[in-house]
Chains A and B, each alone.
Chain A
Amino acid sequence: MNTLRCAWLLAKKDLRCYFRDRGAMAVGFLVPIALVTVFGWIMTAISGGGGGGMPQATLYVVDEAATDETRAFVERLRKSNMLKIEPKPTAKPLTRADVEKKVADGDTSHALVIPSGFAISNTAADAPKLVMFRDPGRKMEQQIIQIGLFQSALAESNGTLWWNGLRKSLVEAGLTNEEVAQIQVPANSMTDLIGQFLDTEKDKQTEPSDPKPTPDSDAATKSPATSAESSNSTASKSDTDNENEDPMAGMMSFMLNMVPLDDKPIEPPSRPRRVTYQAAQSVAGMTVMSLLFALTGCASVLLAEREKGTLRRLFAMSIPRESVLFGKLLFAVIIGIIQVSILFVYGELMFKVGLFRDPLTLSVLVLSWVAAASSFGMLIASAARSSTQGDGLAQVVILVMAALGGCWFPLQMMKLPVILDIASKSMMTYWAMSGFQGMLWNQLDLTNSKMQIALAWQWGWALVLMSLAIYFFRRNYCRD
Chain B
Amino acid sequence: MSLGHVMATVAVLAGLGLWAIFTQSSMIKLLIGLEVIARGATLAVVAAGVVQRQPGLAQVMAILIITIDAAVVALGLAMVAGARQHFGLPDVRRLTRLRG
Q: Are A and B genuine complex partners?
A: no
Which B residues form the contact surface with A (CB < 8 A)? none
